[in-house]
Amino acid sequence: MDDVADVVERAEKALGLFGAEGVLLNPDCGLATFADNPIVSAEVAEVAEAKLAVLAQAWDLVRDRHGI
């Protein structure tokens, strides 16, 4: 799994190439579930939650650094 610094580095590179309007941070977390039909195990859900936490932390840093 990527760490916060890796995500920040890639996000800042993307910002330099495409600008803030052209960048969307999106996890490839593997979480494919629906309210009426959960199709992932608890382990997969834990990994997805951890990836989302890293993404959120990275976004907070990028937003603060670049005033977005």
Q: Where are the domains of the chain?
A: 4-66
Please say if the pLDDT value at position 34 is more than 70.
Answer: no
Measured distance CA(52)–CA(7) in Å, rounded = 11
- Indicate whether 38 pLDDT > 70: no
Residue 66's pLDDT is: 92
Give the least confident one: 11-15, 29-33, 35-39. 29-33
pLDDT at 48: 81
User: Considering the chain, what is the average pLDDT of its residues?
Assistant: 85
What's the token pair of residue 58?
A: 């990275």
Measure the CA–CA gap between 27 and 20, rounded to whole angstroms.
17
Instruction: Say if residues 59 and 11 touch (Cβ distance below 8 Å).
Output: yes
Alpha-carbon distance 13 to 7, whole Å?
Answer: 10
Helical residues (DSSP H) of the chain, grouped into ranges? 4-18, 42-66
